[in-house]
Chain A
Amino acid sequence: EAGVAQSPRYKIIEKRQSVAFWCNPISGHATLYWYQQILGQGPKLLIQFQNNGVVDDSQLPKDRFSAERLKGVDSTLKIQPAKLEDSAVYLCASSPETGNEKLFFGSGTQLSVL
């Protein structure tokens, strides 16, 4: 069974530039999550989708971050404009349904903002 796919694997940008990350969850998984993991910390939830609807985006910095999951399958996360403190690994995860807390993570995108 294919796992959660993410791209790119690495991204280096300058502050104030824009960046986008892509995620394709495990086939059939209704719930998709984007997490931010800063070095030395645990993953922090940015946004959670159930199919193509947002379940929780309370910790998403909406002035610069946006995410969509238009067809209820793959998803993109965008940062515009990026700040130095956005340097982190951005992890996508999926689970079969909301309420099933067993998450399957992708390999992540490591973002460096210079």
Chain B
Amino acid sequence: RKEVEQDPGPFNVPEGATVAFNCTYSNSASQSFFWYRQDCRKEPKLLMSVYSSGNEDGRFTAQLNRASQYISLLIRDSKLSDSATYLCVVTLARQLTFGSGTQLTVLP
């Protein structure tokens, strides 16, 4: 079983739609969780941290479920500019492990 697993997609959604991605992790001792965004042929960039209580940043909401060992990212009112690959990141003992990413395309 992979340490961090994501549905690769692709997710193709119309503008304005709401879309959600899940990410599961195998080690229950994992400590910190993040979502990174990677545009085509670009480097990954931090999108948001994920806290146990859940957190929101504008149209983006991240949640953590430690009991089931998954994190989620919800994007409301999708924009064309949201098209990218979304990477789930899990840390344990200061080592970051990236998922393979979920590809999102927002269609006009």
Contacts and interface: CB of A to CB of B under 8 A. Distances in A.
Interface of A: 35, 40-45, 48, 55-56, 91, 98-99, 101-103, 105-108
B91 A101 contact: yes
A24 B67 CA distance: 40
Query: How many B residues touch the partner, as a band?
Result: 20 to 34
A23 B43 CA distance: 14
Contacts of A43: 44, 87, 98
Given A101-B32, A105-B43, A108-B43, A40 B100 contact: yes
Contacts of B94: 55, 98-99, 101
A88 to B, nearest CB: 13
A99 B96 CA distance: 10
B34 interface: yes
